[in-house]
A and B are shown apart, each in its own frame.
Chain A
């Protein structure tokens, strides 16, 4: 940033002037190059080779170098370069493998000077030495680079890249003898011009061809490369190993890259295909280009900065047969249009969200996001003035913290380990799982299991006990999941909600005021940083609202209201059916008599229970009166989706497995597979390998069940001869002895066999465990210090 703001106007003589302009060429251009005096540009292509003078208002054609009646392939140029020391000297690379030099000082119409026909394939690139008048380098499709001395008729030396296709060659600007070459296989090589036998250094820079490279004009050893993999990378070549310093991801393969003069971190790129724009990137901000030129209608094939010390003028040639001069001040700046937003998870489950203040402010009139209310314990804005962000006008940062305990996933682990998924009758499974959920304080889940049981198992067996448990509890445990949906579904009419809204609005207006003042202050800075071309507004204010204005932190606030929300959600869809069932009341009576009602906590019972009791018991009654189980499957599926959407994919999968065929057909394969894979992924993150394998095994989706079929091979050594066992079974091919002998009791092990990976000895799990309590050496006496993990 500091460097960028330094605009150099010292351009030797007079400053360059001009405007954004373009001129039509007769044919597509393949490459352009600028003369030393920044007043002329040469354009070359398959059927064009012309010199244009750059004037104040327009391009003027000065010279057509394509002379002669018959078009020759020697004139079909893949590349052109103008000598930076001698303004009469040009070189072109022809598609048929010829390198031609041109002397503009020749009196005749034909300016062709010398012809080198040493390459066997297309020459992709030519490059003059930056300071030496007679040295020319070429790189060709045949994999060779050749160095020519223009005073001689043939090449001085040949460098073999040991690979197909050289795509670019560039002399280092700082190191006299060094040049870099890039290859189609993704390699970059560094050569010493005096040592043609082997390259000084080679490394793989890109995946796929490296189309271009450019040395930094000031920083010694900085090399930018661009490749087909859509990346621009900046390498530091001064260290012993080339170090990748920056990486810019573009949207199309990178055809050319050129450092911007006088701006240390800026470079211009254009792409090979699809994308026609020219971008100027700040390599430190690799996601949004600093500037963008959108004049061309077809791919840009050549770019050049007009003067080596002027960062404002860029010239470009394109396949759409135009030559353009772009002025930096006319460039469009995507940053201005962007809505920067950031989201990040903290180590302990906090979520931070930053957005442009104007966006957030616009929201404040509306109802706040549902997501905002999810776990916010406090809401604060803070800004870091040290951030080098230039594009942000101002931003708001929100941090959402999870309640202590709420963020921990121990309930997930416990549930995963304790759930029973198969091997018992459905009713028992449901009961068991409901119990597990209840013990972990997840009452809604427990309730769901119970209801599933009611729906799918014969009604006579339902113990009344399991019906009532969850009704009143759950409030105090305050699981985020429950809270969130409760609030969303139930809260609108409650006083606390409106209060929350208002308090938020207040904070907003405060901060908005602060923002505008901050902007005023920083505006002055803006003027000074003009060179950066990006308006930089820093918001210096740091607002932290008082605690009581914000979302209540203390549990006292939460508690009194919460019990109102804890109605089990699944009860609602049933409400319609309930109305016309006559048998309801009796069942209600039954339930009310059960001893467990009294067991439910008092605070809850006062508000919700009657209602929910009736719901539950009536659904039970419904079943009795001739409704088939299929009737509910739609609801159950909705319920599964609800859980999955809530992020509790564990519940969705567990129910899916337990219910098996009963619901499977109602949910499409893809969704099921998606749930399975997410759950398995989660399980594996928590290292619950056994559970995850069980889930894989129980799944019916083919894609999932093949998951544990991969890499099932276990390589074993024979415990006798210590060589790998090749055949199946436990008999070693070589010493014809059984390899699975227990080293402690010397019997053949059947069942669990544990062995040391170091010495291949092992035995019964129990025996080995016992042995290792007493000794750390191998029981077989081989002297190895065995390790079992």
Chain B
């Protein structure tokens, strides 16, 4: 068999022109049928040397990959014709006697029941446009998109930014971008993102050798490893020496523009890893762990949980344990509303002294360290992910618990709007604008609802969440009373925030279920958006401040 004619080209499917899609699909169908027939014919021949068997296994593997991709298309393509046709091809292959895959798991997210999530095909026109854009750009509709579509306004900005970062003009070559994405996601052992970007990395012509570990990548990328590590876990330790080390490394040195691009990518993927774990995103259908060739009756044991490095198989079974009593959780919402109202009204009455305010921040900062859930046994990351970064033991370390004191970062001296934006936009034009928009949308997003209540001003709550996350990174707002955080965020919520932001790989379904029990899933996704944007901003602030200091 000649390789050339059997090369499947998926990009035709991304076209908006239905005839182009049609021909591309037809082409795929023929290739698949050819391969199938070839396989069947080999099987029938009685003569079987070991070599032929090996060849057979290889081509079966290739076919299975194609089938898995088709399965993904049949479920997740925004174009109806493609969905139907791919299903038809799968069926016809099955009739020929080849096992076809079926999707595993429970929709795009393990935390959110599939029925809550928008089904592809039932979206409205605005969402369809978003889906089509996303599909055209990437050739797939990933689970992250399907979960984020709870908030289409944000999703649009998110996709635009991500598309610009990965595919549009920028100082870094395309395969570098994906590789940096892999490095960043691997810091949090996020196999979901790693898998996605390994595919993309190979697709844009990256060298497969690099994937065997960071030490196989060019020295230039290896140099970035240190920054990646510090940025992901202890961004406050970044100094201008880090920056200098990257910029002045003779032939391996980064340019300022490249560095800013890399920093934006790193922070983007660190926080995206937080989202992936925070919302329990399932593996993509066409990636490992997203589908199975076994018939459904064998077991409904989820491999996806294992491959995700999330040892929470039992979570699937115990999810009903979270429902303590409806009335109790009902009171939670009421109490929260009451507190917000109180804070709003009596803000002017009690006037805390300056020292009091300062100590509140310190207390909150210190406490944020201790809210860790007790069951944080060391998790050894899945092997295939861990090879993308060295020094696995380096994780988020609470600064006060370990006796380290972090100098407080004052937002009034270096903030995103005034300083960060200008720097990014200068070195990597247009990206500052895109990220700025994204921050704004995430921070200001509200539907004025809270659980079952309507017309609620949630700005106070959103600000508390945002500032709490920044507080965990030692970033202080002079004009914020950190006492409010204690009033508004209860312990289980704090545990969740803390885990998602700092050690996302440890998020469990129990954590997700146990905070804000009466709130809708869309609201929990909203919280996650706040978390990831606040985290991204915090990391960016530290990195950009170091760059600014280097430049002056």
A: residues with CB less than 8 A from B are 46, 70, 72-74, 76, 78, 94-97, 117, 119-122, 141, 184, 208-209, 211, 228, 252-253, 255, 272-274, 276, 297-299, 319-320, 709
Q: Which of B17, B357, B426, B552 has a CB less than 8 Å from the CB of A252?
A: B426
Residues of A within 8 A of B357 (CB): 73, 96
Q: Smallest CB-CB separation from B353: which chain A residue?
A: A72
Partner of A297, one of B417, B433, B552: B552
Chain A residue numbers with a CB within 8 Å of B417 are 184, 209, 228
User: Which one of B15, B351, B422, B551 has the highest number of Cβ atoms from chain A below 10 Å of its Cβ?
Assistant: B422
B421 within 8 A of A: yes
Chain A residues with Cβ under 8 A from B17's Cβ?
A: 709
Per the bound structure, the CA–CA distance linking A121 and B552 in Å amounts to 30
The answer to the question of B423 belonging to the interface, with a C-beta cut-off of 8 Å to chain A, is yes
B252 lies within 8 A of chain A by Cβ: no
CB of A74 within 8 A of CB of B354, answer yes
B455 within 8 A of A: no
Given A74-B354, A209-B417, A274-B426 in contact, is the A95-B479 Cβ separation under 8 Å?
yes
Contact A73 B422 (CB under 8 A): no
Add 6 more A-B contacts to A94-B478, A273-B418, A274-B548 (CB < 8 A): A70-B355, A76-B412, A273-B419, A273-B548, A274-B551, A297-B552
> How far is A46 from B24 in the complex, measured between Cα atoms in Å?
64
22 residue pairs A–B, Cβ–Cβ below 8 Å: A46-B412, A73-B357, A73-B358, A73-B478, A74-B354, A76-B412, A76-B478, A95-B410, A95-B412, A95-B478, A96-B357, A96-B478, A122-B412, A122-B478, A228-B417, A228-B418, A272-B419, A273-B418, A273-B422, A273-B426, A274-B548, A709-B15
Q: Is B413 an interface residue (CB 8 A)?
A: yes
User: For residue A208, which residues in chain B have a CB less than 8 angstroms away from its CB?
Assistant: 421, 433, 436
A58 to chain B, nearest CB (A): 25
- How many of chain B's residues have a CB under 8 angstroms from any CB in A? 26
Contacts of B412 in A (CB 8 A): 46, 76, 78, 95, 122
Q: Is B520 an interface residue (CB 8 A)?
A: no
Contact status A709-B16, CB under 8 Å: yes
Complex interface: chain A residues within 8 A of B15 (CB): 709
Q: Quote the shortest CB–CB distance from A229 to chain B (angstroms).
A: 9
CA of A297 to CA of B422 in the docked complex: distance in angstroms? Answer: 18
A320 CB contacts on chain B under 8 angstroms: 552
Assess whether B479 is in contact with A96, with CB atoms less than 8 Å apart. Answer: yes
How many Å lie between the Cα of A272 and that of B421 in the bound state?
11
| Residue of B with least CB distance to A274 | B426
**Known: A70-B354, A184-B417. Is A97-B422 also a contact (CB below 8 A)?**
no
Bound: A74/B353 CA distance, A: 10
Q: How far is the CA of A68 from the CA of B478 in the complex (A)?
A: 19
Query: In angstroms, how far is the closest chain B Cβ from the Cβ of A96?
Result: 4
Contact among B16, B351, B479, B552 with A122 in the assembled complex (CB-CB below 8 Å): B479
C-alpha gap A120/B413 in the complex (Å): 18
Q: Which residues from chain B contact A299 at a C-beta distance below 8 Å?
A: 552
Tell me if A252 and B418 are in contact (CB < 8 A): no
Contacts of A272 in B (CB 8 A): 418-419, 422
Is the beta-carbon distance between A273 and B478 smaller than 8 angstroms? no
B423 → A minimal CB distance (Å) = 6
- Please, which residues of chain B bring their CB within 8 A of the CB of A228? 417-418, 421-422
Question: Taking A72-B354, A298-B552 as contacts, is the C-beta distance between A274 and B478 under 8 angstroms?
Answer: no
- The distance in angstroms between the C-alpha atoms of A146 and B426, with both chains bound, is 35
4 smallest CB-CB distances across A and B, nearest first, come from A95-B478, A273-B422, A95-B412, A72-B354
A76 CB contacts on chain B under 8 angstroms: 412, 478
Q: Which residues of B have CB within 8 Å of A184?
A: 417
Q: Taking the nearest CB of chain B, how far is it from the CB of A170, in angstroms?
A: 19
Please, which residues of chain A bring their CB within 8 A of the CB of B426? 252, 273-274
Q: How distant is the Cα of A656 from the Cα of B347 in the complex, in angstroms? A: 73
* Inter-subunit contact A46/B410 (CB<8 Å): yes
Nearest chain B CB to A469's CB is how many angstroms away?
43
Distance A387 CA – B210 CA, assembled complex (angstroms): 62
In the complex, the answer to whether B422 meets A274 with C-beta atoms within 8 Å is yes
Is the Cβ of A73 less than 8 Å from the Cβ of B354? yes
Of the candidates B17, B417, B436, the one having the most CB atoms from chain A within 10 angstroms of its own CB is B417
